[in-house]
Amino acid sequence: MTRRFTAAAVAAWLAFSFVTIHAEEAAPAQAEAQPAEDPVWAAVNAAKQAGPTTVQFRDQASLQLPAGYVFIPAKEGKAVMDRMGNQTDDRFLGLILPDSDAEWFVTLDYEPAGYIKDDDAKHWDADELLQSLKDGTEAANEHRQQMGIAPIEVSRWIEVPAYEAPTHRLIWAAEVRDKGGADQDPSVNYNTYVLGREGYVSLNLITAASAIETHKAAARELLGAIDFNSGKRYADFNASTDKVAAYGLAALVGGVAAKKLGLLAVVGAFLLKFAKLIFIAVVAAGGAIVKFFKGKREEAESAS
């Protein structure tokens, strides 16, 4: 789960191509031209939805996207994820970016797992959950190594799992490091979930440990802006007809989460490694890319 973004430029593009522009050599004109020439970037720009607006997630839920955020739909978001070497599937809903220079992004998924019983949240032990997450991540390392990717490890809680029963929302965050490494600023996955009648929506904010206290407010704001549609809410569950999930709430922190963590950490490791290059390149291109992201609003205003 560890990924890192610079929203003003969807900086992944700069990382995906290793910028082809080295930060020290990057000229603003070069950096400005790159997004416009990229068909994936062009598709993102055409499809993006800027807040405030309502984003509908299939027949399940909606997001009241606040001002200051940009939503990239599933089709275009998948192309972004593909560029990062990260696979998506039918559960993927899209991406959210801040319309600013903040260094994070959010992935959204809908998991049709069925109705998840939340009674285990009353009794779970944070230490046991952390150990479960560590064990699951260690087990996933074998697959990572087969792919030629360095192993990772979960080091500690950034935020202990907490479930809010009245709103059926879960939040937790763990720090992920290269196994045995000396990461100065490791990645953090700030995981939030809202449960519904037939499954759950998950929002995963990825940033660096040094920035999580600042950025987690955005994840909480976005989580609070999601609401399941009438008939799809957790309270609408019908025990006589509805599917019950094969796992409980604790699995969203332990086993299920560990599998996802092992896959997504690849991206974070890459982006963190090249973070300095990415951010310097974004600074070089920043003004032009922000204009592009906002639909060249300033150019339109000056033309009028």
Q: Please state, in angstroms and rounded to a whole number, the distance separating the CA atoms of residues 219 and 216.
A: 5
Helices vs strands, H then E, count in the chain: 9, 11
Q: Is residue 50 a contact partner of residue 39, using CB atoms and an 8 Å limit?
A: no
Residue type, 108: L
Q: Is residue 83 a contact partner of residue 3, using CB atoms and an 8 Å limit?
A: no
**Left if phi > 0, otherwise alpha if psi is -120 to 50, otherwise beta: which for 10?**
left
User: Which residues does 229 contact at the CB level (< 8 Å), separation at least 6?
Assistant: 59, 60, 61, 62
Q: Please state, in angstroms and rounded to a whole number, the distance separating the CA atoms of residues 217 and 239.
A: 35
Residue 290 Cα distances to 4, 126, 200, 281, angstroms: 18, 41, 33, 13
Q: Output phi, psi for 214, to 5 deg.
A: -80, -40
Query: Looking at residue 185, what is its pLDDT?
Result: 83
Query: Looking at residue 165, what is its pLDDT?
Result: 94
Task: Report residue 152's pLDDT band, with 50, 70 and 90 as the boundaries.
Answer: confident
Q: Please state, in angstroms and rounded to a whole number, the distance separating the CA atoms of residues 304 and 290.
A: 20
Query: Looking at residue 135, what is its pLDDT?
Result: 79
User: Which residues does 95 contact at the CB level (< 8 Å), separation at least 6?
Assistant: 71, 72, 77, 80, 81, 105, 106, 107, 108
Residue matched to tokens 């310097």: 280
Q: Which range has the worst mean pLDDT, 8-12, 71-75, 249-253?
A: 8-12
Query: Looking at residue 42, what is its pLDDT?
Result: 83
Query: Looking at residue 169, what is its pLDDT?
Result: 97
Greater confidence (279 vs 187) lies with 187
Looking at domain 49-274, which of 3.40.630.30, 3.40.1000.10, 3.10.580.10, 3.90.1150.10 is its CATH number? 3.40.1000.10
Q: What is the number of other CB atoms lying within 10 angstroms of the CB of residue 239?
A: 7
Task: Report residue 249's pLDDT band, with 50, 70 and 90 as the boundaries.
Answer: confident
Residue type, 160: V
pLDDT tens digits along 46-89? 899 999 999 999 999 999 999 999 999 999 999 887 776 666 88
Query: Looking at residue 226, what is its pLDDT?
Result: 98
**pLDDT-above-90 percentage for the chain:** 36
pLDDT tens digits along 282-295? 333 333 333 333 34
Task: Report residue 280's pLDDT band, with 50, 70 and 90 as the boundaries.
Answer: very low
Q: Please state, in angstroms and rounded to a whole number, the distance separating the CA atoms of residues 62 and 50.
A: 15
Element (H, E) at 194: strand 187-195
| Bridge partners, 42 (sequence order) | none
What value does the mean pLDDT take over residues 215-229? 96
What value does the mean pLDDT take over residues 6-20? 35
pLDDT tens digits along 199-219? 999 998 888 888 899 999 999
Looking at the predicted structure, is the pLDDT value of residue 138 above 60? yes
Residue matched to tokens 């020439």: 37
What value does the mean pLDDT take over residues 157-184? 88
Residue matched to tokens 């660096």: 208
